[in-house]
Chains A and B, each alone.
Chain A
Amino acid sequence: MLDADFFRRWLTAAAVCVDREAGRLTELDSAIGDADHGSNLQRGFAAVTAVLEKEAPQTPGAVLTLAGRQLISTVGGASGPLYGTLLRRTGKALGEDAEVTPGRFAEALRAGVAAVAQLGGAKAGDKTMLDALEPAVAALGDTTASFAAASEAAERGALATVPMQARKGRASYLGERSIGHQDPGATSSALLITTLAEVSS
């Protein structure tokens, strides 16, 4: 079973990971974006860590919805509303239970990913974070969620964005010049899912 502490540990570890990888994310974003993905996520996840310490939410759903709210208000770029929506919708889908099964979380995360797709109007293959998130939730399975399998699928999905041409976001203005670069959003999504696997092992 997964409790509020598990999700706090996940997001705190994600903040550490984003901090460590910020330079690489920004470098990827300088190739096809506006070179702020790393610093934007750093700011957002630092705010998430701070608010989780201060307010100490007691249920998995409350941890995720509060974190999502922070990302929407502090990131400043498109990744804020997108990751914010991912966490909030996932959190809302979990309801108010004190503990959830991995299978239930997998189902909630699937709802979160669907909300991201709806918000951005994107689908897999558009060279966005969905190219990591959709394979991840597909690999999670329905009953016994395998976070390790999700992590591998997300990493593969992020790598698979290299030959794609961007069809959403600022990178889409580059047309064919977006080909040959790994998508920063898919990369940070893979980091998030990989951190989940690390925290759960």
Chain B
Amino acid sequence: MSAGKLVGIVLVSHSKEVAESVAELATGLAGGGTTAPVGCAGGTPDGGLGTSAELIAAATAAVDQGAGVAVLVDLGSAVLTVKALLAEGDELPDGARLVDAPFVEGAVAAVVTASAGGDLDAVQAAATEAYDYRKV
């Protein structure tokens, strides 16, 4: 990892409340000491349900310390909007990456790993591994 810089995490949900609550849960569980920067892009700018490219771009820029940004998403248009922005090449900071992970469990794993100083690959691996934890 690069000198004290932490990987940023962005949570993209169709709902402002879902994104913010999951961020609160993940940072709470990662607690004690420095926590990685977590940004939220929930709902549309007017507070409705949906996905906002503008909020995603702002949130990724806000958490970018230069060590990369892991973007976790919930459903349909959140997935497609992040993919479309990444395909543009210049809309999201260098090192921003869509991470394939379950939203809540992946967010906790990502924030804990990033807060411990893990690099972007480690954060991605931890978040994606959350898929392997079967509940039944």
Contacts and interface: CB of A to CB of B under 8 A. Distances in A.
B102 interface: no
B52 A119 contact: no
Interface residues on A, range: 20 to 34
Interface string A74-88: 001111111011001
B59 to A, nearest CB: 14
A170 interface: yes
A115 B84 CA distance: 10
B76 A80 contact: no
B81 A169 contact: no
The DSSP consensus for interface residues of chain A is helix
A78 B84 contact: no
A76 B83 contact: no
Interface of B: 44, 48, 50-54, 75-77, 80-81, 83-85, 87-88
A36 to B, nearest CB: 8
Given A72-B53, A73-B53, A170-B76, A81 B48 contact: no
17 contacts: A40-B50, A69-B88, A72-B84, A72-B85, A72-B88, A73-B53, A76-B77, A77-B51, A77-B77, A80-B53, A80-B84, A81-B77, A85-B87, A115-B87, A119-B87, A169-B76, A170-B76
Nearest to B75: A170
A120 interface: yes
Given A36-B50, A76-B77, A77-B77, 16 more contacts: A40-B50, A69-B88, A72-B53, A72-B81, A72-B88, A78-B77, A78-B80, A79-B77, A80-B80, A80-B84, A82-B80, A115-B87, A119-B80, A119-B84, A120-B80, A169-B76
A119 B88 CA distance: 12
Contacts of A120: 80
A45 to B, nearest CB: 16
B81, B85, B88 interface centre (most CB from chain A within 10 Å): B81
Chain B contact surface mostly:
helix
A185 B7 CA distance: 37
Q: Which of A40, A76, A115 has the most CB of B within 10 A?
A: A76
Interface string A98-131: 0000000000000000010001100000000000
A81 B83 contact: yes
B77 A73 contact: no
Nearest to B76: A78
Given A81-B81, A84-B84, A85-B84, A73 B54 contact: yes
A127 to B, nearest CB: 14
A120 B52 CA distance: 18
**In the complex, the 6 A-B pairs of residues with the closest C-beta atoms, listed nearest first:** A76-B50, A81-B84, A78-B77, A81-B80, A73-B53, A81-B81
Nearest to A76: B50
Nearest to A70: B53
